[in-house]
Amino acid sequence: MAAMATLQLESLGPFRALSDEGRKLLRQGLVLKDCAPPAPILHKGQSISGAYFVVRGRLRVYALAPDGTEATMYFIDPGETCVFALNSLFNDLRYPAWVQAEEDTTVALIPGPLFRRLFEREPSIQDVTVRALSTLVFRLMQELEEVHAYKLDQRLANLLLLHANADGELRMTQQQIAQHLGTTREVVGRLMGELVSAGAVETGRGRTLIRDAAALAGLISGA
Amino acid sequence: MAAMATLQLESLGPFRALSDEGRKLLRQGLVLKDCAPPAPILHKGQSISGAYFVVRGRLRVYALAPDGTEATMYFIDPGETCVFALNSLFNDLRYPAWVQAEEDTTVALIPGPLFRRLFEREPSIQDVTVRALSTLVFRLMQELEEVHAYKLDQRLANLLLLHANADGELRMTQQQIAQHLGTTREVVGRLMGELVSAGAVETGRGRTLIRDAAALAGLISGA
DNA sequence: CGGCGAGTGTAGCTTTTGTTACATACCTGC
DNA sequence: GCAGGTATGTAACAAAAGCTACACTCGCCG
């Protein structure tokens, strides 16, 4: 099983460049984990045992307010790593958020000591680590700026434009959208209503269709 | 001048562990820059020429909303590095925020190519890089969570408890506090007023004195 | 076909935050 | 001590977002 996991990992970018020795170490220490949607994989305050790489599926990282409302911070797609875990690993900190599988997901867990050893020796691991951290810093920064600079309707418009597929369709329920934005369904519903009467979108059960992308873009910069 | 800068840098943590070769490279490429308070050092969208380390003084990194309100993201104290710059350096991105000196500040600039070369060869540089990124991720994450989970009065109470000195005194104007929290002076004034009438703090020109830390703490968790 | 649950639409009300507009206090240099 | 800039106090109003409550629609499954 560990061998298979290694093979799968090696097909993902950075691990292709591993030295033979690194590959051998990886093969010995790797743990493969299958995760099903509803249950949290990591919870806040947990101490971290290693570096997580998503092989298949998708993870969602989110914050949880005391009153129970969630706010998605980012997703982890195949080939990416959970940076908070990396972070906790290098700083010996507790994990600062929750993680949940969005769909059936396979995760490769590289135990902490092994990952540190790989990091010291393998330039490709150094590279992927710094790049991952770096990218996350950028994303978080943008998110933070967005939260303080834009109103909810603008953030909603932004989410629609960013996450809709090529046909301008977004397959998410209003509840899910609300969780992303850190607000409630009713508020999303209300704002959607405004967008509908402005002719910018059409709504349906579990889907939103963009009718007038320019109007949305205008809302973001204009209002 | 470059030699002096190297000396100063070497007195700061990670650079003490440099190899002789690394030290030599550093001595050749280092640029020292003095910065005075009001003018921005980096502005949003600027492309980054190297890694910035603060030798003396203090830098403030902040976001700027379209309407001109600021929100401090974090400070860079001596021995620390500007992680956004590191970030932009490794990902070839534009700098995503503004930076300003808070007081007279000396900055050591290690040009990009040199820093990359050092990163490849020097474990201590790898370490300081990952640690800096890592710490920032953690801070940003906390900040993001705080923004969405707490109300302004709670965030204000938190700021007071975190940033006050040992005597419970915080030397900041309400205007500065407002900038930190991404709001306006009037709102800070109003909330301060509530804290004063609750007997939790005393206010004076450019300073706030905590009278009842427990009340502040209770506000954060309780309300 | 009828009931159930998930998803949505709508309305009114409350709380929180932002805005506007002044008044007042404090400090520094002249 | 007085002028002018800087910092704070206050009050009323406006806007944004959250909360509560309920009606409705659609699709699915028995």
DSSP symbols for A112-128: HHHHHHHHHH-HHHHHH
Which residue, of A113, A147, A181, is where some domain finishes? A147
pLDDT above 90 (res B159): yes
What integer pLDDT is reported at residue A165 of this predicted model?
A: 86
**A90:B134 CB<8 A:** yes
Interface test with B, best of A98, A120, A137 (most B CBs within 10 A): A137
Asked if residue B36 and residue B70 are part of one domain, the reply reads yes
- Most confidently predicted of A54-58, A65-69, A89-93, A149-153: A149-153
Asked if residue B118 and residue B21 are part of one domain, the reply reads yes
Count: domains in chain A: 2
Reading the block at residue B200, the tokens are: 């939790």
Asked if residue B119 and residue B23 are part of one domain, the reply reads yes
What integer pLDDT is reported at residue A168 of this predicted model?
A: 86
Nucleotides of C under 7 A from a protein CB: 6-12, 16-21, 26-27
Asked if residue B163 and residue B60 are part of one domain, the reply reads no
Of the two residues B204 and A90, the one the predictor is more confident about is B204
* Mean pLDDT, range B79-84, rounded to an integer: 75
Asked if residue B155 and residue B141 are part of one domain, the reply reads no
Contacts for B146-153 with beta carbons within 8 Å, 24 or more apart? B147/A144, B147/A147, B147/A148, B147/B182, B148/A63, B148/A65, B148/A71, B148/A147, B148/A182, B149/A63, B149/A65, B149/A66, B150/B220, B151/B223, B152/B181, B152/B183, B152/B187, B152/B191, B153/B191, B153/B194, B153/B195, B153/B219, B153/B223
ipTM higher than threshold 0.90? no
Sorting pLDDT into bands at 50, 70 and 90, what band is A14?
low
CA of A193 to C1' of C5 (A): 23
Q: Which residue on chain B is closest to A121 by alpha carbon? A: B123
CATH assignment of the domain containing A67: 2.60.120.10
Reading the block at residue A164, the tokens are: 């809709």
Asked if residue B122 and residue B78 are part of one domain, the reply reads yes
Say which nucleotide is closest to residue A154, CA to C1' distance: D16
**B63:A149 CB<8 A:** yes
Calculate the average pLDDT of chain B: 80
Nucleotide C27, nearest residue via CA and C1'? B205
**A120:B120 CB<8 A:** no
What integer pLDDT is reported at residue B12 of this predicted model?
A: 61
Asked if residue B184 and residue B143 are part of one domain, the reply reads no
Q: Which residue on chain B is closest to A150 by alpha carbon? A: B65
Asked if residue A121 and residue A168 are part of one domain, the reply reads no
* Mean pLDDT, range A62-67, rounded to an integer: 74
* Mean pLDDT, range B36-46, rounded to an integer: 70
Nucleotides of D under 7 A from a protein CB: 6-12, 16-21, 26-27
Nearest-CA distance A149 → chain B (Å)? 5
Reading the block at residue A211, the tokens are: 């009718």
Alpha carbon dihedral B1, B46, B86, A10, in 10-degree steps, equals -140
Asked if residue A129 and residue A39 are part of one domain, the reply reads yes
Which structural domain, as residue segments, surrounds residue A214?
150-222
What integer pLDDT is reported at residue B187 of this predicted model?
A: 95
Nearest-CA distance A66 → chain B (Å)? 7
Of the two residues A148 and B34, the one the predictor is more confident about is A148
What integer pLDDT is reported at residue B89 of this predicted model?
A: 67
CATH assignment of the domain containing B185: 1.10.10.10
pLDDT above 60 (res A100): yes
Asked if residue A160 and residue A142 are part of one domain, the reply reads no
pLDDT above 70 (res A140): yes
pLDDT tens figures, A151-210: 999 999 999 998 888 888 898 999 989 988 989 999 999 999 999 988 889 888 888 999
Of the two residues B183 and A15, the one the predictor is more confident about is B183
